[in-house]
Amino acid sequence: MKKLLVILILCSTFSLYGQKFKGLALTPPMGWNSWNNFACNVNENLIRETADAMVSSGMKDAGYIYINIDDCWHGERDSLGFIQADPQRFPSGMKALADYIHSLGLKFGLYSDAGWKTCGGRNGSRGYEYQDALQYAKWGVDYLKYDWCNTEGLKAHGAYLTIRDALYKAGRPIVLSICEWGNDKPWEWAKDIGHLWRTTGDIINCFDCVHDHGTWKSWGVMQILDKQDGLRQFAGPDHWNDPDMMEVGNGMTAGEDRAHFSMWCMLAAPLIAGNDIRNMTQETRDILTNKEAISINQDSLGIQGFKFLKYGDDIEIWLKPMSNDGWAMCFLNRGLNERKISYNFKDHIFQDAGRYIDFNNHKFTVYDVWAKKESGTTEKNYIFQIPSHDVVLLKLTLNKSR
């Protein structure tokens, strides 16, 4: 009995150092990251201006709170081994930058790598995990994206456990974004380690293509979407599949951006903008800040959507169960031609998350998210045009009076 007690006490003591910070991402994190548009060209002016724009553009009000610096902010380690910011790019230092971001009511994110060098060749965290975590805590970091380049000889599960424990020990609640590209199936082991995990290699600003770089590939929006197949069961509040940061506003057409954004909402994906939000068009801003689309992404049930039906090669219908018995529904046109659709709700049963909806017995009000208007009910055929590479995104609200 005494032995058992000792073991129990030891276990609970050690678990103090072996947890993730819970409850930091009950809905998918929303913010901005420098990589997709700026790559290594980061400096403190860009980050301050971006934080300002986050507020003035209405993105903060729409829910985007993280300002995350990706690769290439790093300088050298000091004589004790503590990582420093690049003094040319960040002359005021990371603490001052974090303070500024916090003063705007936003949160601050940084990037590191489990290997000895980041993907961009800067200092990685290998061998310095606990010291780096201390430094981040001291600076006021709220979010850490942790990459997987130059990790020869490391196992992903162990490496991410180490940084999780280091962050926990340092004592400042920090969202941990696991970025090992899905290589080692993090959805199977990372629920208690990180708050989100990348499911694929890097995204590019292309709707439907693959770029082959020789030793690695980057993927278009549709390619990444297809790679989410079979992963929805692993996601939920505080542990999300991450199909990568968004390319909205980075060169695709408005329809493609709308489709990309809508699908990320349907997937309950982290919504991390990757464009220059200081200089975005009204069209881009309207997409990123569409409140109804965001409410689909941020629904408190946190159920990832799924592909429900296919019409030919081009049209897919996706569903996402929502709170209050609601559903989000997205018609995606992957093809090159506009399509006319006449959809009869009564022809198909919606079944998921313990629900069974036969539209002969249930009536829902239909709201068109991009047209921003109510569009009748599920009693009648839903007839509409859907342009190439675009979506029609609907929210269905149960009409309880029936």
Please list the active-site residues. Answer: 147, 202
Told to check if 202 binds ligand GLA by CB under 6 A, we report yes
Are 273 and 290 in contact, with CB atoms under 8 Å apart?
no
Told to check if 119 binds ligand GLA by CB under 6 A, we report yes
Told to check if 173 binds ligand GLA by CB under 6 A, we report no
Told to check if 206 binds ligand GLA by CB under 6 A, we report no
Are 209 and 251 in contact, with CB atoms under 8 Å apart?
no
Q: How far is the CB of 118 from ligand GLA (least distance, A)?
A: 6
How many C-beta neighbours within 10 Å does residue 95 have?
Answer: 15
Q: Which residue is nearest to ligand GLA (CB)?
A: 119
State whether residue 239 is helix, strand or coil.
strand
Q: What does the per-residue mask of binding to ligand GLA show for 39-78, with x meaning CB under 6 A?
A: -------------------------------xx-------
Q: How far is the CB of 193 from ligand GLA (least distance, A)?
A: 18
Told to check if 180 binds ligand GLA by CB under 6 A, we report no
Among 120, 236, 255, 387, binds ligand GLA (CB under 6 A): 120
Helix axes 93-103, 129-139, angle to 10 degrees: 50
Window contacting ligand GLA (CB under 6 A); options: 11-19, 118-126, 266-274, 306-314: 118-126
List, as one string, the DSSP characters of 169-211. HH-S--EEEE-STTTT-GGGT-TTT-SEEE-SS-B-S-SS-EE
* Residue 9, CB-side half-sphere exposure with 13 Å CA sphere: 6
Among 53, 179, 265, 272, binds ligand GLA (CB under 6 A): 179
In one-letter notation, the amino acid at residue 356 is Y
Are 93 and 62 in contact, with CB atoms under 8 Å apart?
no
How many C-beta neighbours within 10 Å does residue 127 have?
Answer: 10
Q: What does the per-residue mask of binding to ligand GLA show for 128-157, with x meaning CB under 6 A?
A: -------------------x----------
Q: How far is the CB of 156 from ligand GLA (least distance, A)?
A: 14
- Dist. CA 296–CA 394, nearest whole Å: 10
Are 167 and 145 in contact, with CB atoms under 8 Å apart?
no
Window contacting ligand GLA (CB under 6 A); options: 9-17, 46-54, 113-121, 161-169: 113-121
| Pick from 110, 111, 116: nearest CA to 147 | 111
Window contacting ligand GLA (CB under 6 A); options: 117-125, 150-158, 286-294, 295-303: 117-125
Q: What does the per-residue mask of binding to ligand GLA show for 17-36, with x meaning CB under 6 A?
A: ------------------x-
- Dist. CA 254–CA 259, nearest whole Å: 9
* Residue (70 or 184) nearer to ligand GLA, CB: 70
The one-character DSSP state at 21 is P
* Residue (35 or 370) nearer to ligand GLA, CB: 35
Alpha-carbon Rg for the chain in angstroms: 22
Query: Which residues are at the interface with ligand GLA (CB under 6 A)?
Result: 35, 70-71, 118-120, 147, 179, 202
